[in-house]
Structure 1
Amino acid sequence: MKFVKFAVLALAVLITSGCAGGLNSMQEREYKAFENEGVLIEEKTPMVGAVLGILPGFGSFYAREPGYGVVNLLFWPISVLWDPVSGYSGSKSINYDTTKSYLRKEKNKELVILEDLLVSKQIDSTRYLLEKRKIEQKYEY
């Protein structure tokens, strides 16, 4: 009976915590491109997340997945089989999202400056389109 209560509690925590998913194949390619171009923002170190996953739930906590951290804490030592992977992939997801957000903001800043130049008639529409294309290509990965 106690095990059933424990399992129900663990399942409830898991359901309310969201899904700790890694990057899909397209995101993995972008992540590698960010690394190759030197623009990846490493907010979390994936290897640290993996190593912390050996401790009860720490990999998930490190990857900002507290619900999974609690479940992994409750299922320790069995959770050592999957929590290092969660810590690693969760850290990469955080870095990916942080980098994408930063690049989007930088692109928008450049586009606003360019639009201001067009509105103030410092550049013509042809020059605007050429410069806009350069900015868009600069931020494609």
Structure 2
Amino acid sequence: MNNEISLCLWFDGQAKEAAEFYCSVFSNSKITSANPMMVTFELNGRKMMGLNGGPQFKFNEATSLVVNCENQEEIDYYWAKLTEGGEESQCGWLKDKYGLSWQIVPSILGKLVSDPEKGQRVVQAFMKMKKFDIQTLLNA
């Protein structure tokens, strides 16, 4: 079997607005269809659906989208765009203006924390951060 798996995000009447926002933040993204109940879209080639399900359910930190960034410029870009109207959290986590949680993470983080000599120092350094600072992690 080769069943495709995609993500469905539940909104309170803002699905198309949210999809348009996300598509403006991520290159190689587009809305593929929309109607009053739902919108389908792709973010960097990943298929997603936004559902106008109503106020019954809200996003929480138990689910987040992770953006692996190659450099500080990418971290700064995504952090600025996604926190606009939202809120910062700790250790690279944020909530966007729709309440969806994101992790904006340097792609080298796994390698740094698994380094037997400096991994613990890296963890201590990023526990003090909101937005990741790659140079501080490298210097830890």
TM-score (norm 2): 0.27
Q: Looking at both structures, which has the greater relative contact order when contacts are Cα pairs under 8 Å and sequence separation is at least 6? A: 1
TM-score (norm 1): 0.27
Which of 1 and 2 has greater Rg? 1
Q: Which of the pair is proportionally richer in helix?
A: 1
